[in-house]
Amino acid sequence: MRYKYLSIVVMVLLVIPIASSLGVTPGRTTLNFEPNLEREVRFKVWNNENRDLRLALYARGGLSEYIELSEEEIELSEESVELSYTLRLPDELEEPGLYGGEIVIREVTIDGQEKDISIGAMQAVITQAYVNVPYPGKYIIARLDIVGGDLDKETLFFVPLINLGDEDVESAKAEIIIMDMYGKVIEKADTNEIGVPAKGRAELSAQIDPSSLTPGIDRVVAKVTYDGFVTTAENTLYVSDFFLIPLDISVRDFTLGDIAKFNILVENIGNVDVMDAYSLILLDKKGENVANLKSVGVDFKPFEKKEMLSYWDTENVKADRYDGKLVLGYDDKTKERGIRTVVGQNSIDTEIIGITGYVVKESGSPIGGSPLIVLVIILVMANFGWFIYYFRSRIKR
């Protein structure tokens, strides 16, 4: 078995230097159709390792019959060589739209016989040729690009437009519609308005305030309206990149030396399922790891709260304060929060920094700091004071 893995490693190492040794630029050339158009297109082939190469060139794809290569086979030992092909178009192409072809530059053996593709044997690069055949009248195709998805800054939407028609578009605009995974509309925004010349390009844009978005995965549709026509483009918006947040952490019914059960209350704030999530508690003292506690996997439905459980055997643990972190994770994503833990003889109190908290006595033992308890004490004292005042006023009378 080890020889099998060794052979795989060897093959990978053989591939690595070859993958980047041959290049071509430009990767694509796009022209607008004209009857009987004849155009020479120049391109450069790069020999990145300055090896002695023999290269074969040929055209393939829908435009291949209209492509004539300046060379069909060359030997290359220099850093690069400039070549060309001539594109000769007919009087007409039957259907409007985008036509494509490819010029393939492939390494062959020294004797001119092309090898089959195999590890370490040959390589090929491609430069593309595209021709736009205009649609009669006005015809726009659109794309939707999204920048952002953060909850602390605006999300930007860009709608590039290409008018494949042979007439100018006087006015084009778009409505951006954000929907959840169930089709419910969350937010809308209007773009600017712009004209698009025949065979030309333009771009619309809009932005949305983050306060209208919630974490999760949303579907976004750009409904483009232009001179009485409508087309659409879609994309996916990922709001935030992590959907789990810790709400609380506690240990109940604990005695030092026993196994402590940490209850970590976690909420899925996203609108999608989170599968096989885990929690990890790491504690240390003076830089030395004391505990590494990982929960079993838990599945969360959208907006669901659940407890995740971790267990700690405290047989050899001393009552003391420990610093560390709580890590939540799923898929290949993780997020961590700092924690402080005070272990007592009959209690463990853990603070998730910035979320939960406790008050520490001078002796070091934590006492409850619940706002509700404090409020109750204040109300009791206020009522008691009012009772004393009322009782004394009655005596004076």
pLDDT tens-digit profile, the chain (397 residues): 444 444 444 444 444 444 457 899 999 999 989 999 999 999 999 998 888 889 999 999 999 999 999 999 999 889 999 999 999 999 988 888 889 999 999 998 755 444 443 334 568 999 999 998 889 999 999 999 999 888 878 899 999 999 989 899 999 999 999 998 788 999 999 999 999 999 899 999 999 988 888 888 899 999 999 999 999 999 999 888 899 999 999 999 999 999 999 999 999 998 889 999 999 999 998 878 899 999 999 999 999 999 999 999 999 899 999 999 999 999 999 999 999 999 999 999 999 987 754 433 333 444 444 455 555 566 667 666 665 655 565 555 5
What is the model's pTM?
A: 0.60
Per-residue confidence (pLDDT) for residue 382, from 0 to 100: 64
Assign domain 2-133 to a CATH class: mainly beta
For the chain, what are the domain ranges? 2-133, 140-239, 244-357
| Contact of 165 with 138, CB cutoff 8 Å | yes
Q: Which helix (H) or strand (E) holds 194?
A: strand 194-196
223: which strand partners? 175, 232
What is the pLDDT at residue 240? 86
What pLDDT, on the 0 to 100 scale, is given for residue 370?
Answer: 46
**Fold match between 2-133 and 244-357?**
yes
Q: Taking Cα atoms as reference points, which of 206, 205, 210 lies closest to residue 150?
A: 210
Calpha distance 207→191 (Å, rounded) = 8
Closest CA to 247 of 329, 298, 307, 177: 307
Which CATH code of 3.40.50.1100, 2.40.110.10, 2.60.40.10, 3.40.640.10 fits the domain covering 244-357?
2.60.40.10
Nearest in space to 118 (alpha carbons), one of 126, 107, 104: 107
Radius of gyration (C-alpha) of the chain in whole angstroms:
34
Evaluate the omega torsion of the peptide bond into residue 197 and state whether it is cis, within 30 degrees of 0. no
Name the DSSP class of 154: -
Phi, psi (5° rounding) for residue 176?
-90, 125
Cβ-based neighbours of 229, under 8 Å, separated by 6 or more = 138, 140
Residue-level pLDDT at 155: 92
Per DSSP bridges, beta strands 73-76 and 53-61 are: antiparallel
Nearest 5 degrees, angle CA 44-CA 45-CA 50? Answer: 130
Contact between residue 194 and residue 200 where contact means Cβ atoms under 8 Å apart: no
Backbone φ and ψ for 241, nearest 5 degrees, come out as: -115, 5
Pairing state between β 359-360 and 366-367: antiparallel
CA separation for the pair 173, 208 (Å, rounded): 16
- Topology adopted by domain 140-239: Immunoglobulin-like (2.60.40)
Q: Kindly report the CA angle at 377 between 371 and 382, in degrees rounded to 5?
A: 125
d(CA 19, CA 231) in angstroms, rounded, equals 40
User: Amino acid letter at 99?
Assistant: Y
Determine the 3-state secondary structure of 6 from DSSP: helix
